[in-house]
Amino acid sequence: MRNSDFLERLVSNWPAKVLSIVAAIVLFMVYRINTLEERFFSVPLKVILNEQYIPAGPYPRNVRITLRGNREEIFLILEEDIEATLDLSKYSTEGLFKAPVRIEKKGTSLEVDPLEVKVEPFEITVTLEKKVTKTLEVFPSLTGYPAHGFELAQYYLNPTYVRVEGPKSRVSDLRTILTEEIDLSGKKENFTVRVRPKVDDPLLQFPGGNTIEFNGIIQETVILQTFDNTDIITMDLDPDLIVANDFPPGLVQVQAGQLIMEETVPEDVHLLIDCSSITEPGVYTLPVRPDVPLGLLVLKYLPVEIELDIRLHQEGEGEE
């Protein structure tokens, strides 16, 4: 009897009781929603492509993620445990295509409940073109100048060619590739630096690697200079003898580093005749030798020999 009374009371006015339960559930859910907090961050967008095609226009490289859940839990989620993917692999022709961004929860995010994940943008439109690969010669982009008196004598690049991959419209017109700027300012010694190709187009890739080694050979600048009207000087001639004839103007051509050459003046360069073997008057033909400061390399000089009219001092009309 008691059981029947209980059942009667339970089912009596049942619509109102059902509504009360539903209202309680709704109030509980509203409370839960109002107590949830949000967290924002960006994650890389992983793009899956048909291997023969590639994006030919700009597209987002990162997407914005919104996490909604309990504060204590959502801030424990690692950013790498939310993965965003744009799958374009089913498209095998060139054109403009739109696809949704898929979100996959991994790792720490799987342990959080409740957890609401939103992504912006939700859909992305991408232009696809045929993928093209090309091999291009590399040239250095040089700036500045070595220290005064020095120069870049030679350089070596490794590699000298790189493979470039990208959309057909971006790759077909490329002929060469420049490196990032290499500064020579103040260099006095050989040096090595690693640089990357100078490419402003984010759609171009370097499947073989994008590091280039530049080896610069720095040497002192070499100067060629000719000294005209160089003095020709006799040495060790017997004091009782004199040279009675005049000498032609001398010429000396030298080579040296720029710093040494800048310190050399015409008075430092001479042509010498060794007269120590002459003991009596007469006509002699003797070799001429250059006399230049240390560090100068003589390339040419004139005359290489000269004729001397040697007379006794009292017979001469003048002295040399």
Query: What residues does each domain of the chain span?
Result: 1-35, 37-130, 131-220, 223-315
The predicted pLDDT at position 298 comes to 96
What average pLDDT does range 234-259 have in this prediction?
93
**Share of residues in the chain with pLDDT > 70 (%):** 87
The arithmetic mean of pLDDT across residues 107-125, rounded, is 91
What pLDDT is attached to residue 222? 93
Given a cut of 70, whether residue 25 has pLDDT beyond it is no
Would you say residue 300 has pLDDT above 80? yes
Q: What is the pLDDT of residue 32?
A: 53
Mean pLDDT of 259-276: 94
Specify the pLDDT at position 41: 93
Which CATH code for domain 131-220? 2.170.120.40
- Does domain 223-315 fall under CATH 2.170.120.30? My reply is yes
- Name the pTM for this structure: 0.66
CATH (residue range 37-130): 2.170.120.30
Say if residue 140's pLDDT is above 90: yes
Reading the block at residue 58, the tokens are 């700009």
